[in-house]
Amino acid sequence: MTVTLAALVARFGGELVGDGARAVSQVAPLDRATPDEIGFVSQSKYFAQLAGTRAGAVILPPDARDATELPRILTPNPYLYFARVSALLNPPPRPPAGIHSAATVAPDAEIAADASIAAGAVVGSGAVIGARSVIGPNCTVGDGARIGADCLLHANVTVYHRCEVGDRAILHSGCVIGADGFGFAPNAGQWEKIPQIGRVVIGNDVEVGACTTIDRGALEDTVIEDGVKLDNLIQVAHNVTIGAHTAIAGCTGIAGSAKIGRHCMIGGAAMIFGHIEIADGTRISTNTLITKSLTKPGTYTSALPFSEHEVWQRNAVHMRNLDKLVGRVKELEKKLKELESKS
């Protein structure tokens, strides 16, 4: 599809400068854009790229009004505007409504007339699939599970029994919603399984990345609130709560019963201990280990920079002796104060 700049402004707002009849058919980075594509710049350090771009139009912040003669849309948040234009020009493919002949759907499942169930999908007894939702090839929606309206389950997604997914969710391939939490009771040197009888309850506008796993609760539910964005390969353990509009990058692990606040940002490969709480608006850097509750919002970092192996080994020895070193410093400070008091 193609769209004019005037139509974009009518749809998304912003201030149009230049030829509103200029039509674009795709988004692109400035250094590779062609005359039928639109690019964007959000930071002043990239304004110099405007001189050499072949883009047909650009999206800029208001203070860059005079940075180019190209047709342009001025907006306070060019990155967000660019994302919305990209979504308009690149709608996800929509399969036809209906149940494929190679799908298996329980007789008592409730499937909206305009939903799409692909080949190989299995929809269990009492499951509900909402309006306009797409259940991709080889997905499994368990007994009594509920999928809201306008959801997209890519191929090979598994939603276990009784779990619930809200409206407009996107679940990427290989993610598993509602597997058993890691619950075992020790018994004479062996492990006895504890039934995991809670559910996973996912709110509206949630996206779950490929091969991410969200375990069902042991007794109560695991809860993912509205607008949460989870990257690929994240482990969310049983009874975790993730607050609304929190974003978590890939390879993060969250242990059982942790409660993460709203509007948090957690970097990749972070590790969150169980049974702790993280305040709303907290930022956690990549590779950071969180071992206790964070009651005050802020940015928390614990990762050490890498070094050559021999240097790391020497530093590791020093770190093991830090407690002794602190004790010696305190003792010296104590003696220094005694000397000062005598003088």
Residue 255 DSSP SS3: coil
Cα-based distances in Å from 208 to 2, 152, 177, 220, 275: 30, 11, 9, 21, 23
The amino acid occupying position 191 is W
Q: Domain 3-89 falls in which CATH fold?
A: 3.40.1390
* CATH class assigned to 98-300: mainly beta
Mean pLDDT, consecutive 10-residue stretches, the chain (343 aa), reads 96 98 97 96 91 97 95 97 97 93 98 98 98 98 98 98 98 98 97 98 98 98 98 98 98 98 98 98 97 97 90 90 93 91 82
Catalytic positions, written as ranges = 238
236 with 214: CB under 8 angstroms?
yes
213 with 220: CB under 8 angstroms?
no
Residue 294 is given by DSSP the state: B
The pLDDT of residue 206: 98
The pLDDT of residue 57: 98
The pLDDT of residue 101: 98
The pLDDT of residue 30: 95
> Which residues 6+ apart lie within 8 Å of 235 measured at CB?
212, 213, 252, 253, 254
The amino acid occupying position 46 is Y
In the Cβ-directed half-sphere of 3, how many Cα atoms lie within 13 Å? Answer: 19
What residue segments make up the domains of the chain, in order of their start? 3-89, 98-300, 309-342
> Which residues 6+ apart lie within 8 Å of 138 measured at CB?
118, 119, 120, 121, 155, 156
33 with 14: CB under 8 angstroms?
no
Tokens matching residue 206: 């949630």
The answer to whether 3-89 and 98-300 have equal CATH topology is no
What is the spatial distance between Cα 314 and Cα 71, in angstroms, rounded to a whole number? 59
The pLDDT of residue 93: 85
> HEC string of 92-147?
CCCCCCEECCCCEECCCCEECCCCEECCCCEECCCCEECCCCEECCCCEECCCCEE
Alpha helices of 149-284 — where are they, by DSSP H? Answer: none
Choose among 178, 169, 180, 107: nearest CA to 136: 169
